[in-house]
Each structure stands twice: as C-alpha cells, then as structure tokens.
C-alpha cells in the first residue's frame, strides 16, 4: 500500500461517521448529521443536553419543515419521536398535556372520537406537537383562531443550563413567548398543555367556489371570514396577474353520527424522475384540477380529513419532485400592497416554473403568540418549486425583492435559502430573541440567516 | 385476553404492545424499574383506552424482589389471564467477552431472572388451568454466532426453557408463546450499525398481540420472514458456520 492511500484510509477512519439519513420535507438541502440522539424518556434529556458541546444540538420531530430549519448540518439532532406519551387529559375542559413527540395525527385518532379537535391544524397531520409549537403553525382558521401557539397554555422546557423550566402566562412568560415560533432553539419541550376544541363530529360543511381574479378572491375572503371558521384558496399559478383558483370554506357540521375511517391511500415508494414534472404536465394538471372543482362547485358535507389533509392521502408526496427535491416559497404580504401579490404571481407565471400547489389565504389580525411567529395581517401565498439548480434560486431571489419592498416576510419553516437581509426585514425583532436561545442549540437555518457560527464542533 | 401483566413495561417492544392492548380495552399491570416512567405510561395508556392500569416498580433482574412482584400481581389481578415477559439486556458482545461480570449480568437478566419469575406465574396459571404465558426471546437464540453469542445463548436458553414449560403446561390448557423478533428499532438496538433498517416496533407489536389473542402459533417469528431466514441459517453446517463472522 502506498503511503498516500494509507493516509486516506487513516483519514477516513478518523473522521466521525455522518448520517445522511435525515432530510427535511423538501429534500433540499442535502445534509449529513454527526449524531442523532433518540431519547425514549424525558428523564434522558438532561444528560443529553449537559453532555453536548455548545451549539451542537437541535430537536427534530417528523421532519415536515420544508427547508433547513429542522436540520443541523454536521452537528447533532435530538429525534423526539419516541417522546410520544399523553400525560393527561381533562374531559371536562379539553385541556391536554402531552410530550413533544406526539403527532397531531395521534391526537386526532385519540380525541376526535371523544368529541375534541385540534384548535389549529396545518395542512398535514404528520407533524409533532413540538414542531407545531416551534414553528407556531397556522391553519385555515387563522382569521378567527390565530396560530397553534395561541392555544398552548403551558410548557415544560428542558434547558441545558437551568433544567426543566415551567413556562406559562404568569411564570417565565417571556420564555414561553420565545419558544412559540422559536424554531427549537430555546431548548427541548418536555411537555405542553394544549387547549383542544369541542366539536360535534368529524364532518365539515364545505363549500368550494371558483374565482378568476385576486380581487374576486379578496371579496370572497372578506365575505366569508365572519361566517366561516375555515377559509383557504387553491391557486393556478400559471394564470399570471389574474389568477384563477378555487376558494374553499367550511364549518364543523352538526354530527352525522357516522364514524370516519381514516383512509391512507397511496404511498409514493421512490423519487420520481425529475423530468416528469415540467411546465406542460403541471399546467395540464392545474387546468384539470380547476375544471373539476369549478364543475363541482357548491356545498357538501365532507369528512374532516379530506377537507384539512388532502395531501396526506398520498404518503411521501414530496418524492414527486425527484432526487433533487423542491423548495417552497411562502410569503405574507400586507393587504395594502395587493399589487405585490399580483407581481409575484405574474413573475412566476412568466418563468413557467410554478407548480400545482399554489395556496392563498388571508391571515387575521390576532396578536402573534411568539416572538418570531410568521403570521401577520395580510395575504399569505405558498408555492412549490422543483429544485432545478441556479435558475430556481434566481427566480426565488427575484420574488424576495418584491416581498421585501412590499413590507412582507418569508416563513422560516418553508425556507432553505432566504438571505440574512430578508430575514432581518421579515423578523426585525430577532435580536431580542437571541438571549433566549439555549447555548447548546443551533440549526442550519439559524446559522445561515444570522451568520451565527458558534464553536465549530467538527 | 382481558387482564394482562407486562414484565418489563418500559422496554421498546412492550411500549407498543401496551398501546395496542389499551386500544382493545385490556386491563394492564405494568412492572418496571422507574416509578416516573411507569406513571407517564399509566396516564398515556388510560387516555388511549385501557380501563385500568396498575403499576409496580421493581427490578426484575433481582430475584429477591420476585415474591413481592408476584404477590402484588395476584392481589391486583387475582384472575389475570396473560403474562408477557418483555425485558432483556443486550450488552456489546466484545464487552461480555472480556468481562465475566458483564457476561454473568447478561445471563442473569435474560435467562436466570426470567425463568425464575415465569415459574411463579406458571404455577398460578397451571393451578387455575387457564391463561397464557408469553416471553420475548430472539432470533439470535437460534444459532450461536461470533458477533453476539452471549446475548444469543441467554435468549436461546430461555427459548428452550419455554419449550419445556409449554409441554408441562399443555395438559392444564395454559398456552406458552415463544416470541422471536428479528432486529427491531428500539433503544436496545440503537447502537447497532444497521439500526435504521430494523423492523418497526409497531409492526412487531401487532404480530405479538395477534399471537396473544389467537390459539396459534406456539413460536412466533416477527417479522415473519425471520422464520425462513433462521430455518436456513440453522441448516448451515458447523464447519462452514464457524468460519462466518456474522
């Protein structure tokens, strides 16, 4: 063996093993983690936290953040999925205490038959409670219920320097405020108290209405927000300045007395070849989708899961975008700058790179629950883009400019590429959040947008 | 199956089995070391549908504590019908080659203490001529292998013990089930190199619960493919097998 290859061998064995197993939902960026802790009990967390190097850890749940906010490249993760116990439930008030790795899906399975529902739910049920708090997620009822964090009454937070900290509106309220929307950086949530909501049954009185311009959307949304608990619109982003779309609205229905059987239909087994999603196939899909819904417009009573979680019926739909993965662009734009939304849509339509998951929603004006919460009054638009390298990133950069000039913001949970300047513009209060970060915590996202490096662990 | 006693309730596989039993409205008695973990489990299983969950904190590896465990069980569940032994220990094989203490501890936990506590419960079920006794051993007990023969022999010995016990209890109508899982994703196997490819504990638990409910089989391999793999592995002649490093 030559000296050189011996040196390579030595180097190989000396480097710590990195696992490439964990990716975020967008499968971009590709990361490699040095270690993944998998605690099964809350009592194991103090040891994991105290043994870690500064800036080396990040809690991880079901990995449904799209970009790098749930990743900690070259460092370590604490996989919280085994911390999935219900610690208590008050049948009379609907107050739930559970560990952070409990999924919203679990909560629905257990509590829906008892007549309780999530106070706020995002578009997938496969997120953990810890993730829902850390990203202060929102749903179709933002205009009347605020964010998920609004309904978190109390948390127990493991901190590396001061043990288990109880946070509620009286005690450590600032730490509660920082942890909601705090991207997992303030510590590991041991348990949370969440106020569930009484409902009559698993059915939704739903209505779908086609629209053909942004103003028509605004009229519909304005007219619906008082009368409908849930509102959202699907958008054909190939239509440009005058987007067509389908407006969905609904309320919980009086009980129909039937049990809903969760149907977990298809599962995408492997990543599709990237070329299958191109401007022609996606355009065709959008046209068909619009025509079908426009033809079926009107009211119907539908099961809750098809209303809230249409995409959950295709497991691993993220593999549609092929090996390179995809990026999601979710921004919020103040209502005073509606032209900016049109401009964003126009630019996407002209680029021909849009996809079939365009979502538009009018946020309400409820005060934010967390220091770094994303939702704020305005229109929020979410779109997927298959990752096609430089040109995809360039398009998104040009959208950034519009968002910034309109006084808008981007959503960290969906982001893998925003610049530090845009983060600053989106979250001008982020420096006030820094003192609440646990010294042992960091994330790929946080290092990227703030330039915080911390000690280099490798 | 209505009243189930779980010995080693905080083990990775037991956690999933208990949830599925709770959903079937079984009453549960959980035995494990940590009172805090037991109390967390108790609240979880009650919310998930178990009508009653009792807990007893004890170290099952310590035979001196067995009498008290058994007394508590008989007192709480005089008419228990199922016992599932789910605890075990897997040290690093290299460790148990160099340290006799580690070797003996492995045998003590997986074999000696397990047979001791099963003997107490077996006598009670035999007297009442009813019920089911199940224990989790391992496919590792089907063949001595270089890479983990200490763990393997402790589990293999337990399988042999259960085989004899099954025959003894058969006339009394008491079932004895030997559960042989392949590698499963639990805290016990996290340190092994291929851990991400191991079986899902929920799936293994589903097989176990089904075996507890039905009359067959006496020996459960889970996931099922391990029945065939181990049948093949057992056929390898010793002259070849001793040269294999697996």
Q: What is the pLDDT of residues A385-398, one digit of tens each?
A: 989 899 999 999 99
* Annotation: CATH topology of B3-241: Rossmann fold (3.40.50)
- The alpha carbon of residue B48 is apart from the nearest alpha carbon of chain A, in Å, by 6
Per-residue pLDDT reduced to its tens digit, A269-315: 677 676 667 777 777 777 888 888 877 788 889 999 999 998 888 88
Is A91 within 8 Å of chain B by CB? no
**Closest residue, chain B, to A90 (C-alpha):** B47
Q: What is the phi/psi pair of residue A207, to 5°?
A: -135, 140
Q: What is the mean pLDDT of chain A?
A: 90
Q: With an 8 Å Cβ cutoff, are B40 and A21 in contact?
A: no
Which among A21, A38, A110 has CB closest to B47? A110
The pLDDT of residue A453 is: 66
Q: What is the phi/psi pair of residue A359, to 5°?
A: -130, 135
Residue A7 has pLDDT above 50, yes or no: no
Instruction: Compute how many other C-beta atoms are within 10 angstroms of the C-beta atom of residue A295.
Output: 9
pTM of the model as a whole = 0.93
Q: Residue A4 — pLDDT band, cuts 50, 70, 90?
A: very low
Q: Residue A454 — pLDDT band, cuts 50, 70, 90?
A: low
Chain A residues with beta carbon closer than 8 angstroms to that of B22: none
Per-residue pLDDT reduced to its tens digit, B26-57: 999 999 999 999 999 999 999 999 999 999 99
The pLDDT of residue A294 is: 79
With a pLDDT cut of 70, the percent of chain A lying above it is 91
CA pair distance B179, B173, nearest whole angstrom:
19
Per-residue pLDDT reduced to its tens digit, A351-388: 888 777 789 999 999 889 999 999 999 999 999 998 98
ipTM of the complex: 0.93
The pLDDT of residue A260 is: 54
DSSP A201: -
Q: How many CB pairs under 8 A join A and B?
A: 32
Which numeric CATH code is attached to A203-419?
Answer: 3.30.70.2520
Q: With an 8 Å Cβ cutoff, are B44 and A40 in contact?
A: no
Per-residue pLDDT reduced to its tens digit, B158-179: 999 999 999 999 999 999 999 9
Is B190 within 8 Å of chain A by CB? yes
**Residue of A267 and B202 predicted with greater confidence:** B202
Pairing mode, if any, of strands A203-211 and A298-303? antiparallel
Is B193 within 8 Å of chain A by CB? no
The full set of domain ranges for chain A reads: 203-419
CA pair distance A409, A376, nearest whole angstrom:
9
In sequence order, the 6+-apart residues with CB closer than 8 A to the CB of A391 are A353
Chain B residues with beta carbon closer than 8 angstroms to that of A99: 40
Strand order across the beta sheet in which A203-211 lies: A298-303, A203-211, A245-252, A230-235, A358-363, A378-386, A326-333, A409-410
Which among A38, A43, A87 has CB closest to B43? A87
Mean of pLDDT values over A98-121: 97
Q: Which range, of A56-60, A261-265, A271-275, B207-211, averages the lowest pLDDT?
A: A261-265
Q: Residue A26 — pLDDT band, cuts 50, 70, 90?
A: very high
The full set of domain ranges for chain B reads: 3-241
**Ordered per-residue pLDDT tens for chain B, 246 residues:** 799 999 999 999 999 999 999 999 999 999 999 999 999 999 999 999 999 999 999 999 999 999 999 999 999 999 999 999 999 999 989 999 999 999 999 999 999 999 999 999 999 999 999 999 999 999 999 999 999 999 999 999 999 999 999 999 999 999 999 999 999 999 999 888 887 789 999 999 999 999 999 877 999 999 999 999 999 999 999 999 999 887
């Amino acid at each position: 063996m030559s000296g050189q290859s011996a040196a390579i061998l030595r180097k190989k064995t000396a480097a710590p093993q990195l696992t490439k197993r964990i990716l975020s939902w967008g499968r971009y960026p590709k990361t490699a983690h040095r270690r993944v802790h998998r605690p099964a009990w809350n009592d194991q967390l103090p040891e994991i936290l105290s043994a870690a190097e500064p800036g080396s850890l990040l809690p991880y749940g079901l990995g449904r953040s799209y970009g790098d906010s749930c990743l900690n490249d070259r460092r370590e993760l604490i996989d919280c999925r085994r911390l999935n116990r219900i610690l208590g439930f008050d049948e009379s008030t609907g107050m739930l205490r559970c560990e952070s790795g409990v999924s919203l899906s679990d909560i629905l399975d257990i509590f829906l038959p008892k007549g309780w529902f999530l106070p706020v739910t995002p578009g997938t049920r496969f997120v953990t409670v810890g993730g829902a708090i850390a990203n202060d997620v929102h749903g179709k009822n933002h205009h009347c219920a605020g964010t998920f964090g609004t309904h978190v009454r109390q948390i127990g937070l493991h901190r590396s320097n001061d043990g288990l900290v109880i946070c509620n509106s009286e005690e450590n309220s600032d730490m509660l405020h920082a942890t909601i929307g705090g991207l997992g950086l303030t510590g590991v949530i041991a348990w949370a108290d969440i106020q569930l909501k009484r409902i009559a049954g698993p059915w939704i009185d739903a209505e779908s209405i086609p629209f053909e311009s942004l103003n028509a959307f605004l009229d519909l949304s304005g007219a619906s927000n008082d009368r409908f608990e849930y509102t959202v619109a699907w958008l054909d982003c190939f239509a440009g300045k005058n987007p067509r779309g389908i407006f969905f609205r609904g309320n919980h229905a009086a009980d129909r007395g039937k049990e809903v059987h969760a149907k977990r239909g298809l599962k995408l087994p492997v990543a599709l070849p990237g070329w299958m999603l191109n401007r022609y196939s996606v355009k065709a899909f959008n046209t068909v989708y619009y025509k079908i819904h426009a033809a079926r417009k009107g009211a119907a009573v539908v099961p809750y899961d098809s209303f809230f979680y249409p995409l959950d019926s295709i497991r691993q739909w993220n593999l549609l975008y092929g090996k390179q993965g995809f990026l999601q662009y979710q921004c919020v734009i103040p209502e005073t700058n509606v032209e900016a939304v049109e401009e964003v849509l126009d630019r996407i339509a002209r680029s021909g790179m849009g996809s079939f998951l365009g979502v538009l929603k009018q946020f309400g004006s409820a005060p934010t629950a967390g220091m770094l919460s994303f939702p704020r009054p305005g229109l929020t638009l979410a779109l997927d883009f298959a990752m096609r390298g430089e040109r995809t990133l360039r398009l998104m950069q040009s959208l950034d400019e519009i968002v910034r000039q309109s006084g808008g913001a981007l959503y960290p949970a969906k982001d893998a590429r925003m610049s530090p300047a845009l983060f600053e513009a989106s979250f001008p209060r982020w420096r006030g959040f820094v003192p609440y970060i646990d010294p042992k915590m960091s994330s790929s996202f946080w290092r990227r947008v703030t330039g915080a490096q911390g000690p280099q662990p490798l | 199956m209505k009243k189930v006693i779980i010995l080693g309730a905080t083990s990775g596989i037991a956690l999933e089995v208990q949830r599925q039993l709770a959903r079937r409205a079984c009453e549960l008695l959980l035995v494990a070391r940590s009172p805090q973990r037991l109390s967390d489990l108790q609240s979880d299983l009650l919310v998930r549908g178990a009508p009653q969950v009792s807990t007893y904190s004890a170290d099952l590896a310590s035979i001196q504590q067995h009498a008290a465990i058994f007394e508590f069980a008989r007192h709480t569940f005089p008419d228990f019908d199922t016992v599932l032994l789910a605890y075990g220990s897997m040290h690093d094989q290299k460790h148990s080659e160099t340290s006799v203490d580690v070797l003996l501890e492995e045998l003590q936990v997986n074999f000696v203490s397990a047979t001791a506590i099963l003997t107490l419960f077996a006598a009670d079920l035999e007297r009442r001529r009813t019920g089911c006794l199940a224990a989790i051993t391992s496919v590792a007990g089907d063949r001595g292998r270089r890479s983990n023969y200490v763990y393997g022999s402790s589990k293999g010995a337990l399988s042999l013990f259960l085989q004899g016990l099954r025959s003894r209890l058969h006339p009394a109508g008491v079932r004895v089930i030997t559960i042989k899982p392949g590698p499963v994703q639990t805290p016990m196997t996290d340190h092994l190199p291929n851990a991400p490819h191991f079986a899902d504990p929920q799936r293994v638990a589903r097989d176990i619960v089904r075996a507890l409910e039905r009359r067959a089989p006496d020996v459960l391999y889970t996931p099922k493919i391990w029945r065939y793999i181990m049948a093949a592995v057992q056929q390898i002649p010793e002259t070849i097998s001793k040269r294999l490093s697996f």
